[in-house]
């Protein structure tokens, strides 16, 4: 396997690990063991723990954006697009990835040159045009919808109250 192939394989395993356990408190040795590698190989591919965290974030955002594009491409109108998007992001199968996203987003608010710096801003800049395109709306409307979806998802993860949160989503749809 080429270095690029091995690096890609490691990123997929690191994302799986991160989605379940987070990356905030883990050191390289247990992380390497969990993904079937060695600390030396992780440093070879990513340079440092900070570089590893940045690359896992980049990889996670790319995976999400690809899945988002696939989800939205199958929709013929804005209501269908938003409903499909909500079903995708609120699916319990994606809850660990969503928790990792929110952990990283929150950490990026306090990052001063660290591994999490810029994560939140990059996420907004990457998702906003796709949301706007799916809605056929303005940047303001896209901003509102993106913030509402993230807030609803955060509430769902915090409380597990699927029925209430889904009702909130339906209310959002009716107001758009």
Q: What CATH number is given for 50-175 in this structure? A: 1.10.357
Q: Which residue has the higher pLDDT, 4 or 35?
A: 35
Per-residue model confidence (pLDDT) at position 24: 72
User: What's the mean per-residue pLDDT of the chain?
Assistant: 88
Does 102 score more than 70 pLDDT?
A: yes
Burial 129-142 (b: 16+ CB within 10 A, else e): ebbbebbebeeeeb
pTM of the model: 0.81
Per-residue model confidence (pLDDT) at position 70: 82
CA distance 80 to 72: 9
Does 69 score more than 90 pLDDT?
A: no
| 8-state DSSP, 76 | S
Give yes or no for a contact between 60 and 101, defined as CB atoms under 8 angstroms apart: yes
Two structure tokens written together for 61:
């955002």
Q: What is the pLDDT of residues 149-163, one digit of tens each?
A: 999 999 999 999 999
Q: What is the pLDDT of residues 35-63, one digit of tens each?
A: 999 989 999 999 988 888 888 888 888 88
Q: Which residue has the higher pLDDT, 67 or 125?
A: 125
- Residue 105 has phi, psi (to 5 degrees) of -60, -50
Q: What is the pLDDT of residues 114-152, one digit of tens each?
A: 778 888 999 999 989 988 888 888 899 999 999 999 999
């Amino acid at each position: 396997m080429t270095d690029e192939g091995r690096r890609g394989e490691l990123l997929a395993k690191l994302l799986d690990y991160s989605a379940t356990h987070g990356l905030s408190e883990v050191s390289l040795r247990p992380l390497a063991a969990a993904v079937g590698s060695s600390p030396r190989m992780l440093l070879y591919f990513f340079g440092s723990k900070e570089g590893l965290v940045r690359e896992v974030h980049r990889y996670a955002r790319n995976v999400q954006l690809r899945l988002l594009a696939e989800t939205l491409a199958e929709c013929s109108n804005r209501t269908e697009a938003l409903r499909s998007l909500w079903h995708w992001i609120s699916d319990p199968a994606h809850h660990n990835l969503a928790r990792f996203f929110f952990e990283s987003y929150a950490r990026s608010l306090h990052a001063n040159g660290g591994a999490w710096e810029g994560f939140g801003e990059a996420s907004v800049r990457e998702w906003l045009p796709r949301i706007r395109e799916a809605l056929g709306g303005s940047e303001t409307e896209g901003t509102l919808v993106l913030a509402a979806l993230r807030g609803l998802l955060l509430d769902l993860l915090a409380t597990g109250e699927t029925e209430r949160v889904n009702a909130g989503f339906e209310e959002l749809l009716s107001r758009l």
